[in-house]
A and B are shown apart, each in its own frame.
Chain A
Amino acid sequence: MTTAHLQFDFIVDKAQNTITVRREFRANRQLVWDCHTKSELLNQWYAPQPFTTKTKHMDFRSGGYWHYAMVDPTGVEYWCRMDYETVQPIEGYTGLDGFSDANGALNAELPRAHWNATFSDLEANTLVQTVVTYNSLSDLETVIQMGMQEGLTSTLERLDAFLLTLNS
């Protein structure tokens, strides 16, 4: 399978505090939608390797939420919670993405980001656009710094380094 010519845009707007992620997928819209909205499917791709995804609660509707953890290879769980605001199958959804504890209580100290995801046809393929908006870009800095400190990105870096040693 080749992904070489699938569209992928990652646009940072530092003035508007937004990150726009656009990605084309080689599948019809219903299937791509299901993969984004059903926990048994989300569990299979959402957390970047070597993390795995674990869902504790999923109620995909306006007012519902997804409570999930990204689990690192040593078993440490990083809990998150996505609160859905609006849902329009199979057009898009909006929600608030934040950090929580294992019981689903939101971590008020860490910033939440607003998500606006839209799904559209691109010939036989599907284009998913997610606009992630932070209250301020300092929120984004906090999230990314936390990611680095608490292992998410540093684990990815360690993996890169490990792969390099394997190849050399």
Chain B
Amino acid sequence: MRRDVFQAIADPTRRAIIALIALQSMTPNSIAEHFDTTRQAVSKHLRILTECELVKQEHKGREIYYTLELERMKEIDKWLEQFRKIWETRFNQLDILLQTIQNQQKP
């Protein structure tokens, strides 16, 4: 099942995990040490993040390391940037309209 990216990052623990592994790839155990929650709960968060392709697993020897998918994170910001651009363009058009109306109102 493909999960939703925004659903994934809406959770504060998952955002904290993203912030942690943004610095360096980490094993599930070392990630879990940073949280007052069970190892199981952390595993569940990691599974969701993996399903959203926000993090990926890398096998090094017998250990599994989790790494951040930077491209996917950038994608989210790109969506929001597109949305921002729409509002910016729209408002620039309103500036012009306001100016036009005010010029017409002057005697």
Contact = CB atoms under 8 A, between A and B. Distances in A.
Contacts of B4: 136-138, 141
Interface in A77-122: none
Contacts of A136: 4, 6-7, 10
A31 B103 CA distance: 13
A141 B6 CA distance: 7
B7 A137 contact: yes
Interface residues of B, number: 30
Contacts of B6: 14, 136-138, 140-141
B98 A48 contact: no
B84 interface: yes
Q: State the majority secondary structure of interface residues on B.
A: helix
B65 to A, nearest CB: 26
A145 interface: yes
Contact of B98 (A15, A17, A31, A138): A31
A153 B91 contact: no
Interface of B: 4-7, 9-10, 12, 15, 79-80, 82-99, 101-102
Interface of A: 1, 3, 6, 8, 10, 12, 14-15, 17, 19, 21, 23, 25-27, 31-32, 35, 41, 44-49, 136-138, 140-141, 144-145, 147-148, 152-153, 156
29 contacts: A1-B96, A6-B95, A8-B88, A8-B91, A10-B88, A14-B9, A14-B10, A15-B10, A23-B87, A25-B91, A25-B94, A26-B95, A27-B102, A32-B98, A35-B101, A41-B97, A45-B96, A46-B90, A47-B90, A136-B6, A137-B4, A137-B6, A140-B6, A140-B83, A141-B79, A144-B82, A144-B83, A145-B79, A147-B86
Q: Which 9 A-B pairs have the closest CB atoms?
A: A137-B6, A48-B89, A138-B4, A45-B93, A144-B79, A27-B98, A153-B82, A45-B94, A10-B84
